[in-house]
Amino acid sequence: MSKKITCIAIDDEFIALKIITSLIEQTGFLTLLGSYQSAMEGTNAIIELEPDIVFLDVQMPEVSGLDIIKSLNKKPEIILVTSQEKYAVEAFKFDVTDYLVKPIESYTRFMKAVTKAKDNLTQKEEKITGGDAVFMKIDFLLTKVHFESILYVEGYGDYIKVHTTDKTHVVYYKLSSIEERLPKDLFMRVHRSYLVQINKIDNIDQNSLLIGDSIVPVSAKYKPELLTKIQLL
């Protein structure tokens, strides 16, 4: 995504709002369209300005950040800003991009959240322009593999096994690299060595899931997010 990414910030606390706007202004690929202490004004700005990213406080006197999310028909990438981490867990039910805990003191943590939003926007843009596949170097040829055909991806150090509906491809590629190229609304990591296509899952038990005839391990670290995503489907 080469164009500037637009964003607004909504927070009733002046200092917190000042910190967020300062971080945005330090980030070259972000453009700040506006900052709002009023939840109502901020909500109207989301609708009128249609920003790519919204930095949104959870606890505000007029309307909560979660209520704002519920009210939106067209959702931007939302990065929650909260003083209590417990709200972040609840917010993932609404498919937010990430969250930042006040006071925001780390530019690195801010950039991690923004980069995640940027990647999501890139993937959405690719979908609009027909990006429904990934090219992989298989047997010395660049071969197009459609997302829909991928069941799951298995990592083996510097290699991955891409299990599709008709065959398994062994590719010299790291799991973390292919994870970045697969749409996050279709695929997710369920174990340090496995990525799965969510809508290909047949069932889930305590420590594993079934895709076709294959049993894929699920680690405790990723299971809560997996269950949340399954519920949203």
Tell me the domain boundaries of the chain.
5-128, 133-232
* Amino acid 158: pLDDT: 81
* Amino acid 129: pLDDT: 42
Q: Strand (E) positions, 126-192?
A: 133-138, 141-146, 150-156, 159-164, 168-172, 187-191
Q: Which amino acid is residue 1, in one-letter code?
A: M
| Under-70 pLDDT residues of the chain | 1-3, 87-92, 123, 125-131, 140, 231-233
Same CATH topology for 5-128 and 133-232? no
Give every CB contact of residue 165 below 8 A, 6+ residues apart in sequence. 149, 151
Tokens of 158: 């510097």
| Digit-coded pLDDT (tens) for 65-109 | 889 998 888 889 999 998 877 766 666 677 789 989 888 989 999
Name the CATH code of domain 5-128 (choices 3.30.70.20, 3.40.50.2300, 1.10.3720.10, 3.20.20.60). Answer: 3.40.50.2300
In words, the CATH class of domain 133-232 is mainly beta
Q: Helix, strand, coil proportions of the chain in percent (round to 5)? A: 35, 35, 30
Looking up tokens 């894929």 gives 216
Whether the model pTM is above 0.85: no
